[in-house]
Amino acid sequence: MPPVKDALLLLLDVGPSMDSVLPEIEKACSLLVQKKMIYSKNDEVGIVLFGAEDTDNELTTEVGGYQHVVVLKKIKVVDGDIHEALQQLPRGTTDGDFLDAVIVGMDMLIKKFDQTNKGKKRLCLITNAQCPIKEPYEGTKEEQVTIIAKQLTAHGMKMESIIFRGKLGQDANREIMDENDHLLNIFSKETSTRLLYLENPISLFGALRTRNITLVTTFRGDLEISQKLSIKVMVYKKTAEEKFPTLKKYSDKAPPSAQYATHELKIDYEYKSSEDRDKVLPPDQRIKGYPYGPQIVPISRSEWDAVKFQPEKGVKLLGFTDSSNIFRHHYMKDVYVFLPQPGNTGAMLALSALARAMKEMDKVAILRCVWRKGQSNVSIGVLTPNLSDKENIPDSFYLNVLPFAEDVREFQFPSFSNFPASWKPNGQQLEAAANLIKTLDLAPHGQPEVLLPDFTTNPVLERFYRFLELKSKDPDVAVPPIDDTLKKITEPDADLLLQNKSVIDSFCRSFELKGQPLKKSRRLWGGKRSSTNDVIENASVKVEKIGDLTPAQNASVKVEKIGDLTPAQDFEALISRRDSPDWVVKAINEMKNKIFDLVEDSHEGDNYPKAFECLVVLRKGCILEQEPKQFNDFLKHICNFCRENRLHSFCQYLASKDLTLISKTEAVDSDVTDEEARSFLVESEPKVE
Amino acid sequence: MELDADDFFRDEEDQAEAQDSLLEGELSKEYVVYLVDASPKMFNTLFTTQQEHQKLESHFHIAISCISQTLKTQIITRSYDQVAICFFNTREKKNLQDLKSVFVFNVPEREFLDRPTARLIKEFDQLEESFSKYIGSQHGIVSDTRENSLYNAIWAAQALLCKGSAKTVDKRILLFTNDDDPFGSIKGAAKSDMIRMTLQRAKDAQDLGISIEILPLSCPDAVFKISQFYADLIGLEGDDLVDFMPEAGKKLEDMKSQLRKRMFTKRIVKRLKFTIVNGISIELNSYALVRHTEPGAVTWLDSVTNRPLKIERTFICADTGAVVEKPTRQFLPYKNQNITFSMEQLSEIKRISTGQLNLLGFKPLSSLRDYYNLKPSSFLYPSHEGTDSSMCIFIALHRSMIQLNRFAVAFSGSSSRPQLVALIAQEEVIQSGSQIEPPGMHMIYLPYSDDIRLVEERYSDTSGMVTKASSDQIKRAADLIKRVDLKDFSVCQFTNPALQRHYAVLQALALEEDDVPEMKDETLPDEEGLARPGVVRAVEEFKTSVYGENYDEENEHGIGKPTEASKKRKAMVEFATTECKQYDWGELADTGKLKDLTVVELKYYLTAHNLPVSGKKEAIISRILSHMGK
């Protein structure tokens, strides 16, 4: 089948009132074109600007009028040229008339495709719709818009409108906007397409659908309510993760002169006998083995096919249940949507009646789904109603897959009510938390919700495509930082924080962070408890009463991390763990970090003795474990760090304590002589001054 | 080639998952000794009248079926854990120290304490019938001897658990008994002596890092009194003692699930730093409470020797055929050139956030739509390595979020896929003494706009004839819903039939049995219930109200016009069928001339006979031959 060709005409408002958001529009549209260049190379794109300084379009030359509408790029197959044009759009000087642009766009599409390419012709209007459109020569604006909308439908065109309002300026005219909104709504209804109002620049990326994915049914057929009643439905994926584009493995083996080299790396797998390394087994001499406990059971394909679980294709209702019986966190996968079969009024009404009744009664339906013939597993899903508020969109359902008994792991966690008083918030702290929650509100009443997933683009993909473009021009370019607009997705909104500074400050004050470390815990069962309350149950940690630990018992304590209380002891315990070689590395690394933290957090040297104590045990450990380089490098590093960060006093402190590098005599692996070792700190001192 | 693509072409996320499970694996294994009291008292059958129908069961049977159930789950989910099954108060003896009245049940090719095998499960399932013949029940503590079977049992269990270091292995003894006063028949000094010795034995075992748990079995008429003796044995005091004994008459079913629950040990998937505001952060651990259970990785074997094969992967340059080392760069064709990326650059691109989990704000629970989901959620609980004030912050937020009906929106900067997450505070749910839902927060991974598809709009009706149901139709639907109500539905009530089948087949093959036991597919609808007259009537009324009289007609023909695609498919089949008739397939097959036809020609046959058309030429030919029965 030839690739489906999609023609898209971007109608962009570049009038003066759009100046502030044009950079975002440039970025979002570039992304769209870039993705098309990768995923649908044959798609065609054109660009029409309105509110521009100049006038350049065929209708002006043919019939006159249509001022300030510029055809920046005619409709053509996506390429670097179109992408380039979007990078820097010319800023306009006049207020744009979106209706002129729509007519010019429609004319272009008709001229180019006529009646062909039905349903694959789209107009995408991006404007703030703050400027009035001209009065028509005859009839009302409304009539004119309706005529044009009907024309669009007749020619098989769709028109999407993205209205970007942002924070309204002083000069915004409510009346004009309302009129425009009304007109645009006619387009939306007539051509049954989206009309979106955005306030936030981040949403723009998400609102402009950058990829056109062909929808494939997961299932079409009967939703069996009972043996006597089934409803014809179509099931589609509602969500599916958009992955990174698939990259190929690169080979530089081909000579540079080879013009048609693919530079691809192929992966080859060889199945070799474990006894005879040179023996490669062909496919017919191999058999699959499945683990069952310690055994591996060989099963041939035919054997397997004969006995495996083969459910019949079909989607069956098991029953309805209270929505409270289903936990939101049990949703397992991406989501499906159940739509009535198009044109089937009965199915549409049946789904609508069920959805509305379920919504009213707060019920959900449980289904058993086998999507395809020959599928070897079933899934149990929960069907939740999705009522439509648009008259041309039918009511539908969402289906989420639920876990089976095997998939749920019922771990036990200590309940908060058993905690000691110091772990529980008091009334004032609870209030501080409640205030924080109320003020950091992302869906304030009467205002549009911020960070709505439907309009939030994936910043990683955006960054990747930008990097791709930069790299195509300069192969040595570094990875660009994340786009400033998209930073709002990864970090809290600075404005929001600033506005609510007092609440946040009072929250911070309520919870003083320098708290007592939670005690290491013991198992709930077994042994006597020192106190019933301050036990936090943790299956992996078994500690006797902390108070009376003798060194011998210490070994039986499972230290997994260097804590704040007794870092030196923790380190010794950690480094002497013999159950995995990784502990040594882990211990050394954690200790280094701990020392760094201690020095950094030190106030007038109050942590120095502790840091020194840690350095001494680290030194000892590194000698024992034959890792002198680790210690030496670290000591050098921390001294450098201290010098750069005005912490000279620590180096002086160390020098006064006669701490030296590990020399060759102490550990053979060291490349430091005795002389160097001794003089290291002493020498480094004068340099500082 | 029959290659298991899934094993090799994992994307980065899978790799991250694999690493996660590695982290899990590194944490402790578990060694468990089941100590089952086999005294005659355990064999008394009792009537359980909790449910409508009476059941005759002995405590011994309950214990055995609990263990059997656990073993079957364990061999699937945690086959590296080791178990031993040990009876006490037995006639025969079999144990390491040759102690009286203690019998360790085992099967060949297996140590006493070892990983469970198919054979162990099978023979254990049949044990009950042969128990009296081979092991026998006998009360071991009798007044005139100095024998102490409970003491012996704990000692034997301790000896079994001496292998493995207490640091890496979680060692447990699970004791099933219905005798709350094992030394009841002894009098005088001997009694206190025996009690003291037994308690000392238990304490010694606990000092060695072995925990002892009691699973008491109560008779309906006499509740098991934990304080009689066992409270001291396992060291219960104060409040715990009160909490320990679940209320009298607790369902036996609960026991089973409780046991299974305790079989799992918590494993931390990831440690996270949750940054709230102004640099205030708290340490959290994430856990995987819900994950899809896979039937286990496939191992390729030599079909002759059944020995595992070594799979070697080589990279070959497609241009020169040279064998290359692991590639360090990847590329994407773009604007007529190949843009290459180093692995560092690719991971740099994904590093878009400074923190591991940054709080962005809060939203009401109603804004969390049902389609905001991509993968199973994670569970967050404060790390015990934090401070009491960080615990305090967590609890304060947790409580306030529940109270205000809000969830937190945060950005999770994981290395595999940085994304927005919703944090939902979960209140603790306790049902009949056991925790159903732990307190903490569920982290739900939110989709990006790129991941959400606009299906509804795309399939909206352009003719504008969309109709919503009338209030009468909705009322009929409501009647139907009321009729088909699953009252106590819980997600855990279904086992995965495909997985159960898989393991039944494996077990049968592992034990070289001829037939695979039929599994009941619990996921099928309750046909009987749906055929009840009340339901049938509700269905009929709903049908008439929505479809009128022509339900059958409408559903027979579906809609008036078939879709574009189905028309095309139909045409293709018709075309293939006529083309297909021009060949004498039988003749071609017999003379071995099929291979002389082109793939296109061969596919006529497949399409005409409604067979899959995929695969290489050889595969297609063999499919045709097998379809013709040759």
What are the pLDDT digits (tens) for B237-261? Answer: 655 555 555 433 344 455 555 444 4
Whether pLDDT at A136 is above 80: no
Instruction: Determine the average pLDDT of the residues in A582-610.
Output: 78
A392 contacts B464? CB cut-off 8 A = yes
Asked if B399 lies within 8 A of A430 by C-beta distance, the reply is yes
Residues A225-284 pLDDT 10s = 888 888 888 899 999 888 888 888 887 777 767 677 777 888 888 888 777 777 777 877
| pLDDT level of residue B480 (50, 70, 90 thresholds) | confident
B-contacting residues in A 545-584 (Cβ below 8 Å): 556, 558, 561, 563, 577, 579-580
- Give contacts of A437 with chain B, Cβ < 8 Å: 362, 397, 400-401, 404, 406, 408
In the block, tokens 């819900």 appear at B290
Query: Is B363 part of the contact surface with chain A (CB cutoff 8 Å)?
Result: yes
pLDDT in the model for residue A522: 36
In the block, tokens 């349903």 appear at A119
List of chain B residues whose C-beta atoms are within 8 Å of the C-beta of residue A366? 486, 489
B471-557: same fold as B24-263?
no
State chain A's mean pLDDT as an integer: 78
C-alpha distance from A581 to closest chain B C-alpha (Å): 12
Which CATH code fits A559-688?
A: 1.25.40.240
Query: What's the rounded Cα separation, in Å, for the pair A679 and A113?
Result: 84
- The answer to whether B490 contacts A334, with C-beta atoms less than 8 Å apart, is no
HSE value, Cβ hemisphere, 13 Å, CA-based, for A211: 26
Sign of the torsion angle spanned by Cα atoms A540, A544, A545, A549: negative
Q: B170: which 2 tokens?
A: 């979680």
For chain A, the domains span 7-207, 219-241+309-407, 559-688
- The answer to whether residue A535 scores a pLDDT higher than 50 is no
Q: What pLDDT does A79 receive?
A: 84
Residues B481-489, mean pLDDT to the nearest whole number: 84
Paired residues of B32 in beta bridges: B83, B172
Pick the residue with more confidence: A644 or B556?
A644
Per-residue model confidence (pLDDT) at position B407: 92
Instruction: Looking at the complex, report in whole angstroms how far the Cα of residue A475 sits from the nearest Cα belonging to chain B.
Output: 8
Rounded to 5 degrees, what are φ and ψ at B71? -60, -40
Q: Tell me which of 3.40.50.1980, 3.40.50.410, 3.40.50.1970, 3.30.70.100 is the CATH number of domain B24-263.
A: 3.40.50.410
How many whole angstroms separate alpha carbon B408 and alpha carbon B443? 9
Residue type, A47: I
Q: Do B491 and A330 touch (CB under 8 A)?
A: yes
Whether B261 contacts chain A with CB within 8 A: yes
Give the pLDDT score at B222: 67
**B residues 389-428 near A, CB within 8 Å?**
389-393, 395-401, 403-404, 406, 408-409, 411, 413, 417-420, 424, 426, 428
Domain residue spans of chain B? 24-263, 267-455, 471-557, 564-628
Contacts of B439 in chain A (CB under 8 A): 413, 415-416
Residue A259: HSE in the Cβ half-sphere, 13 Å Cα cutoff: 0
Q: How confident is the model at residue B265 (pLDDT cuts 50, 70, 90)?
A: low
Per-residue pLDDT reduced to its tens digit, A61-115: 888 778 888 888 888 888 888 888 888 888 888 888 888 888 888 888 888 877 6
The domain over range B267-455 is classified in CATH as 3.40.50.970 = no
What is the average per-residue pLDDT within A105-128? Answer: 78
Three-state SS annotation for B92-149: CCECCCCCCCEEEECCCCCCCCECCCHHHHHHHHCHHHHHHHHCCECCCCCCCCCCCH
* A–B interface: beta-carbon pairs under 8 A: 744
Identity of the residue in A37, A356, A412 whose CB atom sits nearest the CB atom of B469? A356
CA distances from A430 to A506, B146, B395 (A): 12, 61, 9
- How many Å is the maximal CA-CA distance in chain B? 101
A1: pLDDT strictly greater than 70: no
pLDDT digits (tens, 9 = 90+) for B271-319: 888 888 877 888 888 888 888 877 777 888 887 777 888 888 888 887 7
Reported as a pLDDT band with limits 50, 70 and 90, residue B18 is very low
What is the CATH code of the structural domain delimited by A7-207? 3.40.50.410
- Binning pLDDT at 50, 70 and 90, where does residue B17 land? very low
CA-wise closest residue to A510 among A416, A415, A603, A436: A436
CB contact B222 to A (< 8 Å): no
- For A249, the enclosing helix (H) or strand (E) is strand A248-249
Q: What whole-number distance in Å separates Cα of residue A422 and Cα of residue A437?
A: 22
Nearest Cα residue to A614 out of A581, A650, A649: A650
pLDDT of residue A555: 40
B461 to chain A: which residues are within 8 Å by CB? 192, 342-343, 392-394
Q: What is the 3-state secondary structure (H, E, C) of B273-333?
A: EEECCCCCEEEEEEECCECCCCCCCCEEEECCCCCEEEEEEEEEECCCCCEECCCCEEEEE
Q: Measured between CB atoms, which of A415, A436, A454 is closest to B428?
A: A415
- Percentage of chain A with pLDDT > 90? 6
Nearest to B307 among A275, A325, A333 (CB): A275
Check B76 against A230: CB less than 8 A apart.
no
Computed over every residue of chain B, the mean pLDDT equals 77
Cross-chain Cβ contact B334/A349 below 8 Å: no
Task: Please compute the mean of the pLDDT values over residues B418-425 and round it to a whole number.
Answer: 91
- Beta strand spans in A14-98 (E): 44-50, 69-77
**What pLDDT, on a 0 to 100 scale, did the predictor assign at position B555?**
56
Q: What is the assigned CATH class of domain A219-241+309-407?
A: mainly beta
Q: How many CB atoms lie within 10 A of CB B98?
A: 9
Q: Average pLDDT of B231-237?
A: 71
Tell me the CATH architecture of domain B471-557: Orthogonal Bundle (1.10)
The ipTM is 0.72
Say which range, A193-207, B355-369, B551-565, has the weakest mean pLDDT.
Answer: B551-565
